[in-house]
Each structure stands twice: as C-alpha cells, then as structure tokens.
A and B are shown apart, each in its own frame.
Chain A
Amino acid sequence: MRRIGVIAINTVRECVRDKIFLNLLIFGALMIGVSILIGDLSIGQKGKFIKDIGLGAISIIGAITAILLSTGLIRREIDRKTIYSVIYRPMPRWNFLLGRYLGICLTIGLNVLIMSLIFFALLSIGRYGIQAGMFKAILMTYMELILIASIGLLLSLLLSSTPSVIFTASIYVAGHMTAELKGMASAAQSGIHRFFLGAIYYIFPNLEALNLRAEAAYGMTIDHLYLLKACLYALAYTVVVLTIAMWWFERGELG
C-alpha cells in the first residue's frame, strides 16, 4: 500500500511539473474569467451564462487533462524503455499501474479543485449565488474524468500514443451520445441493428448520466439517490476497466 502511495505522489509531482498541465490550468482559469465578459452579452441571464461557462470549462479542461495524462504517462515510459527499470523491481506490476492511476486521479482532482475555487470566487464576487447543485455537478464531473482516465490508461497499454489519444477522445464524445444510441436502438427495425446498438449502449460508458451541469446552472434539485447510483456506476465501470488494464500489464506484454 505504501509503495502505491509513493508512486502516486511521484506521479502527481511529475504531472504538476508538466507544461501541458499548467497551460491547461491557465487556459481553464482564463475561460472561467472570460465568462464575465461573455455574460455581458446575454440578456438578463448573466448568472446562468457564467455558471454554464464555468462548469463547462471545468469539464472540458478536465477532460483534456485526463485524456492527455492517462494516455501519455505510461506510454512515454514504454516508448523510452524507462518502464523496465521500474517493473523489474520486486513488487507486483499492478502496484505500479495502480499508483500511476491514483496519481493521475489526484492530479485531475487538483486541477478540478483549482478551477472550482476560481469559479466559486467569481460567483461570490459577482453575487450570483452558489447552490449545492454546483458541488454535486463538479463531483460528477470528477467521476466522469476518473472514468475516462481509466479508459485512457488501458488504451495506452494496448495502442501507441496517437491512436490511444484519438480513441479515448472518441469514447469521451460517444459516451455523451448514449441517449441517441438508446433512441436509435428502440427505433431500429431490424433485430440485429437493435441488438448491436443496444450492446454499444451498454458497453460504452454513459457519461451523459454523469452530466448534471444543466441542473446545477438552473439551480434544480439533484436527487441524492440518483447521485449515489451514478457514482456507483462510474466507480464500477472504472474498477472494471482498471482491473482489465492491471491484468494486461501483469501479463507483461508491453509494446
């Protein structure tokens, strides 16, 4: 357990030193800041505008960070062969992978935390009000990001760097379109189409179920039971993907 913790902390240090992480963070902070200027263009709903852009920026910048970190970290080590100095140490390989993953999650958490603080500060200064729903929406955004990071990590073990980024980003987009897949499956005439679309619906992560940003921006109440079920869903999905990644990593086929 201690070993995993050390690897996780080192991963956070590595990621924070990375220029991409800092650039994205600055860009996200700017986006949230600029929401005030864009909000001026709206007619009467400036608060909603700022909340939409702020929550959107946290999600988009978080997603880019999660995809780049999860697909890049291990892959870079495999390509540079530096991974062999780590995996031949007397410890199970999965410890290393889990430590790396937890480090990525902590970095993403740090990213989300900093952007959320800027966002809440802006809302407080402008007296737009901070509702409980916003914390819930940010929590669900974080769940979404750690889920996509687990997929990125798995794909980085199976594919080279560019395809793993492209596939992870595609799964992120497809995960937000699952409602369309479900609709298409129910409307499909042929049984094969219905089965195929239905299978994709259940195999792809349902990221739209974790998207509570609209509810938060409109100050709608978010059911606690729903929140719990959605969290469990994201965690179950993440653990399954991570277990597959660890199993693959244990098999020792790195290429």
Chain B
Amino acid sequence: MKAKGGRLLMISILLLLIPSIPLLQISISSDRREMPEERLRYIPSGRYLCLLSAGYHTLTADLIWSWSVISFNKHLRGEGDFTWLPNALEAITTLDPLFRDAYLYGGVMLAMGAGNPEEAVKLLEKGTGKLPDDWQLHFFLGFYRLFFRIDPLEGIAHLEKAASLPGRPSYLPVLVAKAYTKLGRLELAIRYLEQTKKLIKDRGLRMKIESQLAELLKRGPAS
C-alpha cells in the first residue's frame, strides 16, 4: 500500500513538473538575450583563437561559422547590423584556411548582405591565395571587382583565371571577352578569345567563341 502511494506521488510530481520545465525555459529565454551574435561581436582575432582552441582549429572554425550563419539570417530579417561579420570571417578563415564555403558564402554575405564589397574582395583574395585552383573563388572575386568597380581590370584577370581552371562553366570564356569589351579593351578581348580558342576542345564552346570573336573583329581588329 505504502509502495503504491509512493509511486503515485512520483507520477504526480512528474506530471506536474515536466510541462512546467519548457514553460519556464521559454520564459527565461525571452528575458535574456541568448543569441550568439553578442559573442561574435567580441570575438578575438584568428591568431589568438588558434592559440586558444588548443589544436581544435577546424572545430572552432565550424562553430563560429554556424554562429555567423545563424546571426546573419537573423540580422538580414531584422536590424541589419553586420559590423561583426568581417571579424568573424577573418577568425574562421585563419583558424581553417581551407574552409572553402566560408570564403565563397562569406563573400556573398559581405558583398550582398552587408553591403561591404571591399571586405568581400579582401576575403576572396585570401581564399584564392589558399585555394588557387578553385574556379568559383576566382570567379566571385572577379565578379565583385567588376560589379563594384574595385580595380575592374584586376577583376577580369581573375575571371580569366577562373575560365582557365577545370570545372568552370562553358560560358565563362565568352563572359571574360564581354567584360573586356565593356571596359573598352577590345584588343584584349580579341586576344583573349584567340588564345582560348586554341585551348578549347569542346566543339560547342569553340563555336561560341568563334562567333564572339567574329563579332569583335567586325568592330575593330586587334592592334
């Protein structure tokens, strides 16, 4: 009888308290700012974090990256304060210099979300230095330089590099030529297409390049 009473008491305690736990948690979470952006704001530089993370560099980078993505989404929908973002991306890419997504998506976050293309260019320059054979990093670096007019000629050089790397889309060589033309560098566009034509084996792409070349030559031959 006693044991039955004890069991009943235990079940009553559980039934009463278990629903109250999430309710209390919701209440205390709304009272206190729990989001990680506060931590991101005061994050130390990557060099110090390398020391502090005691060998767990990539794990720390992953953690900061996930905080950054969460905070970025939140700010994109709300306050739009991205002052913490360049610092966080610097820390991530110093902790894990081969973190390709941090360069690629971090560049998009900086240039398009935070409206800070200079920092995006800086980040992607670091990325192309660490991962020189990644066509996408060169492509985005070139694109930001061209689109935001941060040394556009240097931007085309990066597009050119992207077009020479394996895995790049077939339209890229033509795009480079168009970029040169837009900048008034017709002769560079023609020379670039002539060089590329020699290297391309794909028939469809060769045809595209030839038609583009013919169009440019009509406008004015290379000097």
Contacts and interface: CB of A to CB of B under 8 A. Distances in A.
| A, B co-complexed | yes
B21 interface: yes
Given A206-B25, A208-B34, A233-B28, A240 B13 contact: yes
A186 B35 CA distance: 11
B59 to A, nearest CB: 13
Contacts of A223: 31
Contact of A239 (B13, B28, B34): B13
B17 interface: yes
Contacts of A209: 25, 28-29, 32, 34
A246 B20 contact: no
Given A187-B73, A240-B13, A92 B6 contact: yes
The prevalent SS among residues of B at the interface is helix
A49 interface: no
Interface string A167-203: 0000000000011101110110000000000000010
B13 A243 contact: yes
Contact of A233 (B3, B10, B25, B74): B25
Given A187-B70, A202-B22, A250-B6, A230 B28 contact: yes
A250 B6 CA distance: 10
Interface string B1-30: 011001100100110011011101101110
B36 interface: yes
B211 interface: no
A225 B10 CA distance: 29
B17 A236 contact: yes
Contact of A240 (B17, B67, B70): B17
Given A179-B36, A187-B73, A244-B14, A236 B67 contact: no
A247 B10 CA distance: 7
A183 B67 contact: yes
A6 interface: no
A26 to B, nearest CB: 25
A182 B66 CA distance: 12
Q: Main SS of chain A's interface residues? A: helix
A186 B78 CA distance: 14
Nearest to B63: A180
A114 interface: no
A98 to B, nearest CB: 11
B69 interface: yes
Q: What class of interface size applies to chain B in its complex with A?
A: 20 to 34
Contacts of A202: 21-22, 25
B31 A233 contact: no
Contacts of B24: 229, 232-233, 236
Interface in B32-56: 32, 34-36
Contacts of A244: 14
Contacts of A250: 3, 6-7
Contacts of B21: 202, 233, 236-237, 240
A183 B13 contact: no
Contacts of B71: 183
A236 B14 contact: no
Nearest to A201: B25
A183 B31 contact: no
A187 B35 CA distance: 12
A230 B32 CA distance: 11
Given A229-B28, A240-B17, A243-B13, 14 more contacts: A178-B34, A180-B67, A183-B66, A186-B70, A202-B21, A206-B25, A209-B29, A229-B24, A236-B17, A239-B13, A240-B21, A243-B10, A243-B14, A247-B10
Kindly list the 6 A-B residue pairs having the minimum CB-CB distance in the complex, ordered from nearest.
A183-B70, A179-B34, A233-B24, A202-B22, A209-B28, A236-B17
